[in-house]
Structure 1
Amino acid sequence: MKSFTFLFQYFLKPRTVGAILPSSSKLAEKMMDCIDFQTAKCILEYGPGTGVFTDKMLEKRNEHTVVVLIEYNKEFCKILNDKFKDKKNVMIINGSAEDIDSYVNQYNLPRVDYIVSGLPFASLPENVSHTILLKTKKLLGDSGKFITFQYTQFKKGLISQYFRKIDIKWEYRNIPPAYVFCCSNA
């Protein structure tokens, strides 16, 4: 049912959904490899969709780690609310990653250690991508990490304008195969 919902939402809003199927658990696992779950106090996720990365994150996290999900799509937000409503220290916001600084202030979130992103930078308007990446860089400072995936390395140049170090791993067990970018300024 989630795959059908995902496909339907893609056809309704291809610029904001960006894929026809949810990410694979293999891609989710590779995304989580960049996170030190023992020390993470706050992890944000942009565009969690149906929660594939979130599932892995919650499986591995310390129970005191705050996880904040920011999902623009209302249908995906409903799925996330149903799926994670009983999880401790999980907050779901129906909104845009462009407003991340407002959410951090509004909800008095602790220092952000990691930001995991499922956003389709290849299909987002360039000004939106720049705004999100600039605010992400400011939130993470020199000690945090930004973890995203893309289907090509085409947007590496854009992301490297905000992060000095980008480690790239390829995950072929995803449809389509994807690149994981683990980005930092350390």
Structure 2
Amino acid sequence: MKSFLFLFQYLLNPRTIGAILPSSKNLAQRMMDHIDFETAEYIVEYGPGTGVFTDKIIENRRPHTVVLLIESNQEFCRLLEERYENEENIFIVNGSAEDTDKYLNEYGIPYIDYVVSGLPFASLPKSVSNTILIKTKRLLSDHGKFITFQYTQFKKRFIQQYFERIEIKREFRNIPPAYVFSCSNQSTVF
């Protein structure tokens, strides 16, 4: 059912969905490998879609960790609201990651420890990507990380304009295989 919904939404909105199938559980785990759940107070997810990454975040987070999901697709948002209605400290916004600062203010979130992103930067307009990355960098805590995946390394140089360090790992167990970018402004090794 989720795969059908995902495919249908891709056909309607290919630029904002970015893939014909949801991410694999293997890719989700590879993304989570970059999060220290023991210290994470605030996690934001851009473009959670059907919740593949969200499930892993909820599975690993501490109960008081606040998770803010920002999803622009109304159908995905409805699915997420139904799916996580009984979860504590989960907030779901039907909106754009361009407005992350506004949503943080609305929910009293002072900063972000981790951003997990499923956004298709390769197909988003450059101005939208710029706004999202500028705000993300500004809103991350000193030791915060921006974790995203892309199907190619084409956007690496673009993302490096905003983050001093990028660690890249390949996940072959996804259709198609993907690169996980763990980005920070820390000068120390991850």
Distance in structure 1 (CA, Å) of the matches to 2:88 and 2:141: 27
Q: Residue 93 of structure 2 aligns with which residue? A: 93
Opposite residue 140 of structure 1, the aligned amino acid is L
Aligned-partner Cα distance in 1 for 2:164–2:46 = 21
1:132 equivalent in structure 2: 132
Q: Which moved more, 1:107-116 or 1:76-85?
A: 107-116
CA distance in 2, matches of 1:86, 1:169: 34
Structure 1 residue 142: Cα displacement: 2.9
Aligned-pair Cα RMSD in Å: 0.7
TM-fit CA distance, 1:111 = 2.4
Structure 2 equivalent of residue 29 of structure 1? 29
Supply the distance in 2 between the matched residues of 1:166 and 1:130 (Cα, whole angstroms). Answer: 17
User: In structure 1, what residue type is equivalent to 2:68?
Assistant: V
- What residue is the counterpart of 2:122 in the other structure? 122
Q: Residue 72 of structure 1 aligns to which amino acid in structure 2?
A: S
How far, CA to CA, are the matches of 1:42 and 1:160 in structure 2? 23
Which contiguous aligned blocks of 4+ residues in structure 1 show a shift greater than 4 angstroms? none
Task: Look up the equivalent residue of 2:148 and give its one-letter code.
Answer: T
Residue number in structure 2 paired with 1:155: 155
- Give the TM-score, by structure 1 length: 0.99
Alignment partner, residue 53 of structure 1: 53
8 Å CA contact 2:111–2:141 kept in 1: the answer is no
**If the length of structure 2 is used for normalisation, what is the TM-score?**
0.97
Q: CA–CA distance in 1 between the matches of 2:107 and 2:57?
A: 21
Greater shift in the superposed pair: 35-44 or 132-141: 132-141
Match of residue 39 from structure 2: 39
**Identity of aligned pairs, percent?**
68
* CA distance in 2 between partners of 1:108 and 1:63 (Å): 17
Could you give the per-residue CA deviations for residues 63-101 of structure 1, whole angstroms, max 9, x where no partner exists? 110000000000000110011010011000000000001
Unaligned runs of 5+ in 1: none
Partner of 2:180, secondary structure, is: strand
Distance in 2 separating the partners of 1:28 and 1:21 = 13
Counterpart in 2 of 1:18? 18
Query: Residue deviations 1:24-59, cap 9 Å, x none?
Result: 000000000000000000000000000000000100
Deviates more, 1:109-118 or 1:41-50: 109-118
CA distance in 2, matches of 1:134, 1:141: 14
SS at match of 1:162: coil
Q: Unmatched 5+ residue regions in structure 2?
A: none
1:93-129 C-alpha deviation (Å, 9 max, x unpaired): 0000000011111221132100000000000000000
Partners in 1 of 2:51 and 2:70 — Cα distance? 11
2-structure distance, mates of 1:42, 1:102: 15
1:102 match: secondary structure: helix
- In structure 2, the partner of 1:173 is 173
Q: Which amino acid aligns with 1:90?
A: I
CA shift, 1:141, in A, is 4.4
Do 2:40 and 2:65's aligned partners in 1 also have CA atoms closer than 8 Å? yes
**Number of residue-to-residue matches in the alignment:** 186
List per-residue Cα deviations over 1:131-165 (Å, max 9, x = no partner). Answer: 00000000014321000000000000110000000
